[in-house]
Amino acid sequence: MYKTHTHLGFAAAVLAAVLAVAGCGGSGRTQTSSVAGVQTSQSRSSSALVGAGSTLVAPLVGAWQSDYSKSHGVQISYGAIGSGGGIAQISARTVDFGASDAPLTADQKAGCQGCVMVPWALAATTVAVNVPGVTGHLKLTGPVVADIYLGKITTWNDPAIRKLNPGLKLPAQRIAPVYRSDGSGDTYAFTDYLSHVSPAFKAKMGGASTQVSWPVGTGAKGNAGVAATVEQTPGAIAYVAIAQAEGSHLNVALIRNRAGRYPVPAPATIAAAAVGARFRPDNSVSIVDSSGADAYPIATFTSAIVSRSSSKLAELKRFLDYAVTTGQKVAPQLAFAPLPKAVVAKDEAIVKAL
């Protein structure tokens, strides 16, 4: 099986640091209270910004924290609590910004009252596996993965999997699907993809969502929780953010794309999926199952979510401008693709108009 390896040591180190920061919370200089892993305060320091949300983007935000503090004198605190939690907290104004890999629903837009999405990172959700005795490259297709999560394919030596992997000796090991138990942008990207490639999945599960009532499998909280479950469970399969897969040294299956190829999830193949991305008026976009020959099929943008009425809007605009420009330089080291030039220009216009 293929093991992700792009700048693995650096990614793992940053990921560990991010999780430590998320556990410690924020930086308010007045009396604080912990809300879902993020330190909040009614009077947070004006020289600090507090955010929460997507675990997928957490390694990149973690890399930004130290650099932005040094270059701008502003401390960034970020709680990697999942996209759903991030949306809830920015809507409640308990943080200065949220982050989500999933677009806001109509109800969430109404509840957030004037929030704006700013696409600030480009990454991927991988499919990690733990198949005992298999050392070659395991290949899967979207419909096969969908049938696994629908409970239709239950063992690793199923004929549908054997057909994709001639020459591999696949065990009769039962498949143990693992999914996110919390509201997750990775769940959104994964179900968005499966809904595109499997009519049966879309008919039964109802399309893309951040939280799903899966018919089979075991839930785990956060990307870290999912990764740990995969490592500990023979026969496991799970969807995991690419940086977490690298940081946890997980075996990642190769997923066939629309062109019939099996691209390795990496910055170049993620970038290929974003070519020609067409954003909606609310700045959301889907780039799963892209048509590019080299496109990784479960790629996704992730967005910051900010309020136009924030008392820290000026500082937020400076941070967002940094994130979509200078901050992109470190992206490939963490298995993110740098934002395309057209998206950077779009973001700069969004931020200027806030």
- Residue 92 and residue 113 in one domain: yes
User: Is 221 within the bounds of a domain?
Assistant: yes
Pick the last residue of a domain from 273, 293, 324: 273
For 186-198, write each residue's pLDDT tens digit: 999 999 999 999 9
Whether the predicted pLDDT of 34 surpasses 50: no
3-state secondary structure 108-157: HHHHHCCEEEEEEEEEEEEEEECCCCCCCCCEECHHHHHHHHCCCCCECC
Q: Check residue 215 and give its pLDDT.
A: 97
pTM higher than the cut 0.85: yes
Q: Which structural domain range is residue 324 located in?
A: 2-121+302-353
User: Is 295 within the bounds of a domain?
Assistant: no
For 200-233, write each residue's pLDDT tens digit: 999 999 999 999 999 999 999 999 999 999 999 9
Q: Check residue 30 and give its pLDDT.
A: 29
300 vs 297: CA distance, rounded Å: 9
354 vs 352: CA distance, rounded Å: 6
User: Is 185 within the bounds of a domain?
Assistant: yes
Q: Check residue 295 and give its pLDDT.
A: 98
Percent above pLDDT 90 for the chain? 84
Nearest Cα to Cα of residue 184 among 101, 302, 64, 271: 101
- Residue 64 and residue 180 in one domain: no
Neighbouring residues of 113: CB distance < 8 A, sequence distance ≥ 6: 91, 307, 309
- Residue 148 and residue 77 in one domain: no
pLDDT band at residue 134 under the 50/70/90 scheme: confident
- Residue 113 and residue 195 in one domain: no
Q: Check residue 136 and give its pLDDT.
A: 65
Do residues 52 and 98 touch, judged by C-beta distance below 8 A? yes
| Total tally of structural domains belonging to the chain | 2
- Residue 76 and residue 177 in one domain: no
Q: Check residue 23 and give its pLDDT.
A: 36
Q: Most distant CA pair in the chain: distance in Å?
A: 63
111 vs 92: CA distance, rounded Å: 9
Structure-block tokens of residue 135: 């050392």
pLDDT band at residue 46 under the 50/70/90 scheme: low
- Residue 158 and residue 37 in one domain: no
- Mean pLDDT of the residues in the chain: 89
User: Is 263 within the bounds of a domain?
Assistant: yes
Q: Check residue 126 and give its pLDDT.
A: 97
User: Is 42 within the bounds of a domain?
Assistant: yes
Structure-block tokens of residue 215: 């018919």
145 vs 163: CA distance, rounded Å: 14
User: Is 292 within the bounds of a domain?
Assistant: no
User: Is 293 within the bounds of a domain?
Assistant: no
- Residue 7 and residue 147 in one domain: no
pLDDT band at residue 40 under the 50/70/90 scheme: very low
15 vs 11: CA distance, rounded Å: 6
Q: Check residue 9 and give its pLDDT.
A: 46
Which CATH number does the domain housing residue 224 bear?
3.40.190.10
- Residue 251 and residue 177 in one domain: yes
CA terminus-to-terminus distance, the chain = 46
- Residue 130 and residue 260 in one domain: yes
For 93-108, write each residue's pLDDT tens digit: 999 999 999 999 999 9
Q: Check residue 353 and give its pLDDT.
A: 96
- Residue 141 and residue 252 in one domain: yes
Structure-block tokens of residue 139: 């290949």
Nearest Cα to Cα of residue 323 among 283, 351, 295: 351
- Residue 84 and residue 9 in one domain: yes
pLDDT band at residue 41 under the 50/70/90 scheme: very low
Average pLDDT over residues 257-271: 97
Whether the predicted pLDDT of 17 surpasses 50: no
User: Is 227 within the bounds of a domain?
Assistant: yes
Q: CB neighbours (10 Å) of residue 258?
A: 16
Average pLDDT over residues 336-352: 97
Q: Check residue 42 and give its pLDDT.
A: 36
Do residues 305 and 99 touch, judged by C-beta distance below 8 A? yes
* Backbone torsions φ then ψ of 339, nearest 5 degrees: -60, 140
- Residue 104 and residue 139 in one domain: no
Whether the predicted pLDDT of 22 surpasses 50: no
Do residues 38 and 79 touch, judged by C-beta distance below 8 A? yes
